Amino acid sequence: KACIAYAPGTVANLVCGFDILGLCLDSPADKMEVRLLDTAEIIIKSADGYPLPEDPALNTAGAPLLEMLQDLDQKVGFEIIIHKRIKPGSGIGSSAASAAGAVAAANYLLGSPFDKVQQIQYAMAGEKVASGVKHADNVAPCIYGGITLIRSIAPLDVIPLAAPDLYVSVVHPQIEVRTADARAILRQQVPLKNAIKQWGNIAGLVTGILKNDLPLIGRSLEDHIIEPVRSTLIPGFQELKKSCKEAGALGGGISGSGPSIFMLSSSRQTAQAIEGIMQETYKNLGIDYHSYVSMIN
């Protein structure tokens, strides 16, 4: 028995919602081929020769399925063939896609014993392998689609939100920022005045999403805590953000832990113009990039 899952990229944080908000893109997506085995083992293969850890405990798709096997009282295993289409270290949920795709496919092959929250719980084991921390803001939108709010990690409380019809322009400058490093540089203390601005923005953003109030979404896409620190790792970030907003983007910022940058727009035409500005910026900086326009999926 075998199954193929397409697991799309995701944009975590949504600027002000560090570790609690995320959206699902429609592309790119990892293709995960999963086969049910009658031996209690996990076999990992990379379809296109992309170097991926073959030890399941060290692989973002393998670790969640190892946890799942421990909870099953049947002697089964899985072969996972990973077609890696989302570049690791890009900031659009590469590790989450492989983890969530493997879990969703394995769950299907077992006859769907696990609900979405349990699947997210397993997939978070993949995030622990990738970044050292079990965050759910990429795996949750990958499994639910749309935009998700993680109200709490322990116990896991995931709230799927309505997804407004918004276009997402993404640019991935070809520099690698490891999530673990981008987390290590964050300050552990937050001044109260910044925390107040931040939770005002998070509440505004969630309200804007639920009411489909685009100007409110735009006003709320501000980050007073994480972006000032992490943006120093991304050449051209501040100028690019300013130009994109001047050209009509609702707003945006660092995608996940970077280096990708995303911008939300209300029309495909604006999103394409924003993509043009992104391309121009990195051409001028002499940095290779990939860029695309997606919808919230």
State the residues that interact with ligand HSE by CB under 6 A. Answer: 12-13, 18-19, 93, 135, 137-138, 179, 182-183, 256-257
Q: φ, ψ for residue 173 (rounded to 5)?
A: -65, 140
45 has which bridge partners? 81
How many other CB atoms sit within 10 Å of the CB of residue 280?
12
| Closest separation in Å from C-beta 272 to ligand HSE | 25
Preceding peptide of 28 cis, ω within 30°: yes
Nearer to ligand HSE, 13 or 294 (CB): 13
| Closest separation in Å from C-beta 186 to ligand HSE | 8
* Of residues 92, 73, 100, 95, the one with CA closest to residue 84: 95
* Of residues 257, 293, 267, the one with CA closest to residue 15: 257
How many other CB atoms sit within 10 Å of the CB of residue 122?
24
Rounded (5°) CA angle 168-140-38: 125
Nearer to ligand HSE, 33 or 137 (CB): 137
| Closest separation in Å from C-beta 1 to ligand HSE | 32
Nearer to ligand HSE, 214 or 225 (CB): 225
Nearer to ligand HSE, 132 or 191 (CB): 132
Helices (runs of H) and strands (runs of E) counted in the chain: 10, 10
Q: φ, ψ for residue 39 (rounded to 5)?
A: -115, 145
DSSP code at position 68? H
10, 60, 148, 179: which one is catalytic?
A: 179
Nearer to ligand HSE, 32 or 182 (CB): 182
Q: Is 67 a catalytic residue?
A: no
| Closest separation in Å from C-beta 286 to ligand HSE | 26
33, 127, 227, 275: which one is catalytic?
A: 127
Both tokens of residue 135? 């965050």
| Closest separation in Å from C-beta 136 to ligand HSE | 9
Helix 62-71 and helix 116-131, axial crossing angle in degrees, nearest 10: 130
Q: Which residue is closest to ligand HSE by CB? A: 256
Amino acid at 139: V
Q: Is 127 a catalytic residue?
A: yes
Q: Which residues are catalytic?
A: 127, 179
